Amino acid sequence: MVVLKYGGTSVACCPETMAQHVKRHVAEGVRPVVVVSALAGVTDLLILPETPEARGTFLGIHRRWIKQAQLPPEMMRGIEHLPWHPSVGEKAASILVAQYFGRQGIPAKEIWADEDRVVLSSRERVVRVQLRAVQNCLDRNFVPVVTGFVSFDVHSQTTACLGRSGSDVTAAALADALSVPAYIYTDVDGIMSADPGICDNARTIPVLSRQEAMEMACSGARVLHPHTLMHDTELIVANTFDEMAPTTRILRKDEAAAAPPVQSILCVDRC
C-alpha cells in the first residue's frame, strides 16, 4: 500500500498523470490511497467572505476543470450547493478526482476526512487517525480519494482545517497510521539545497534524515509543513510535472542518512 498526495497545482493541471500513477501502482499490486488538495487558488478564495462574485469564481474554476477533464457538466451538481467554508475546496476536488478516476477505469470514492471521521484534530494538529472509512473503501476494491487539509476537531465537534500545507500533514498522518510510505507530489523537484530562485546551482537533495528535514522545515524551507514530519513515515517528495525529475526521500526516525556536513542553505525573508 502507498499514500499518494497531490497539491493544488497538481490537481488543477494533471488529473491524467494522477490516474497514470494510480494505475501503475495497482498494476504492481500496490493499493494506493490518494490525498488531494483543493484546486490551485480555491482555498485563498474560500477564506474570504462569500459574495456572488466569489461564488461565481469558485464555480467557474471547477466548471473549467470538468470541461478540460472531458467530464459531463452534470458533475457540477455535487459541488454547486456546497457551503462556503475553507474545507470545501478539498471536498470539491475529492468529488471531481474520484469521478475522473472512475471514467479512467479506476473505481474510486471520495472520503471526507471530517464527516467520515478519518482525521481527528485539536488546534490544527492531528491527534488521531481512524481508518474505518478508508479500509471499507479498500475492501470494496475502490481507491480512496481523501480530502487533505480537512479534519474533525475533537473539542468543538466541528469541521476544522490543519493550516497551510495541511494536505501534506493529512498524507503523512494517514501513511503513519497505515505503516506505508507517502509520495508528496508537488510542482518542484524534491527539496533543494538552496532556493533555486536565488541560487543558480541549487540541486535536489536525494536523501534527508527526519531531523534534517525538520530543521529545514522550521528554518524557512517551504516544501513541507513541519507538522508533516511529526508523523514517522517515509516520505518521497516528487514533481508531478516531470516523471524523470530527481526526488527527495525523507527517512523514518530510526533510519540514518549518510550525508555531507552541510545539506542545505536557508534564509528567512523578513522584509
Furthest C-alpha separation in the chain: 56
Cβ atoms within 10 Å, residue 156 = 10
For the chain, give the mean pLDDT.
91
Cβ atoms within 10 Å, residue 250 = 30
180, containing H or E segment? none
Per-residue cell: 93: 476536488
Find, among 155, 26, 159, the residue nearest to 90 by Cα.
159
The tens digit of pLDDT for each residue in 204-257 reads 999 998 888 888 877 766 678 889 999 999 999 999 999 899 999 999 988 866
Q: Band the pLDDT of 1: cuts 50, 70, 90.
A: very high
Torsion (CA) 232, 234, 239, 245 in degrees, nearest 10: 150
Specify the pTM: 0.92
